[in-house]
Amino acid sequence: MRYVSDLHIGKVNPENLAFGFDIDPKKYDLATLVAGAIRDDRIQQAVAEAEPHYGENGLLKDALARYKSLAKDHSVGPVQIHPPVRPGTPLATAPQLARWLAALGDLTATPDPLPTAYQGALVDGVKHFQARHGLPPDGVIGTSTAEALSVSAAQRVRQIEFALERLRWIPPLQQGRVVFVNIPAFELLAFDDVAAAQGPALRMKIVVGRAMRTQTPVFTGVLKTIVFAPYWNVPPSIARKEILPKLRSNPGYLAAQNMEIVSDGTPLAPSASNIAMVASGAAQIRQRPGPKNALGHVKFLFPNHNNVYLHDTPTQSVFDKTRRDFSHGCIRLSQPAALAEWVLREEGGWDADRVAQEMVRTTEMAVPVRKPVPVVIFYTTAVARRDGTISFYEDLYGHDKALERALAAGYPYPP
């Protein structure tokens, strides 16, 4: 009974770790289920049915077996390198690095003879390794790359186990389309069928909340509305902490940023009394649609108490960075038009041309999504890919450490 439960909903209740996933609807009547499985001689089927039915689950299990085997192989292991190391320079640990990269799959085979310098295929192997770990694939072994190369297979096993545990927390999803946002990977994946074997129909870079101040929460929602040329209704905390100080020192700040003070949707003059109303919460600041709008040309709404949504951004240069935790909590998209086209293609009358046309409109327009799409804001530092590789990412918000502590406590886990 315990095994079936752990396999189906995980060992730890995600709500105890500030994950907004409700596992109660997934819980089995364990006594009835197990007794029936024994009676009908279908224990193996009951166990198989308890597992998450996502392609990622099987891919992670394959990766887990491989890394467990690698952890037992004492002929290879992580490499300690003092950064920086640039291509073409001598490297005393080059032989160990070559064997480690070959064992990880970043080199197709161990070079023969083993290299004595950091050059050629060894550099290509490091670039592949960097790309898998969300690092700049420049071939330079800097501090972050050196740290990743020093992580043991046993530590990666734990990351994969954490990833499998979290998959079991995801609330039930109906067969069909779904959007996954993975915070540590700074990545959005859109699937045509959550239970199918094929990979994502859409994959893009994203920006998430700052690790130190404004973390993006983990939860699920349903995408119900797309808004083209949106107003940005500035959250009160941002208005008080960031905008009002600038407005008090520069009376022309609102006009320069295409912003206005409103009360019940009615624009107000930027007078001292109305600024005081903003400070007290009796009025709000919003930014009109336009090229300076912080939400860009489109936003995607999936109602939630966190007031988090997906949106475009006028600052596209941030997507050139590998670490992208710059937002106040909402999620910025590198390819918003592509997501809009993907969501609306089943709505009828929508194609790439129409989306492009609406992306440049100047007045706000809300489009209801008649076939709503589940959205899962997720957190995992290990992602198995369909090409046989696995990506590992930094524990951006410390959620892996929290899960490790919870699992280390052992049974009985808190309810």
End-to-end CA distance of the chain: 16
Tens-place pLDDT, residues 177-200: 999 999 999 999 999 998 777 889
Q: Which amino acid is located at 221 in the chain?
A: G
Query: Per-residue pLDDT averaged across 21-41, rounded?
Result: 96
pLDDT exceeding 90 applies to what percent of the chain?
A: 90
Question: What is the residue extent of each domain of the chain?
Answer: 2-69+155-169+382-408, 78-151, 178-230+292-378, 232-287
pLDDT at 136: 95
Identical fold, 78-151 and 178-230+292-378: no
What are the φ/ψ torsions at residue 375 (nearest 5 degrees)? Answer: -125, 130
Of 34-43, 373-382, 405-414, the range with the lowest mean pLDDT is: 405-414
Say which CATH superfamily domain 78-151 falls into. PGBD-like superfamily/PGBD (1.10.101.10)
CATH class of 178-230+292-378: mainly beta
Tens-place pLDDT, residues 64-99: 999 999 999 999 999 999 999 999 999 999 999 999
Tens-place pLDDT, residues 305-327: 999 999 999 999 999 999 999 99
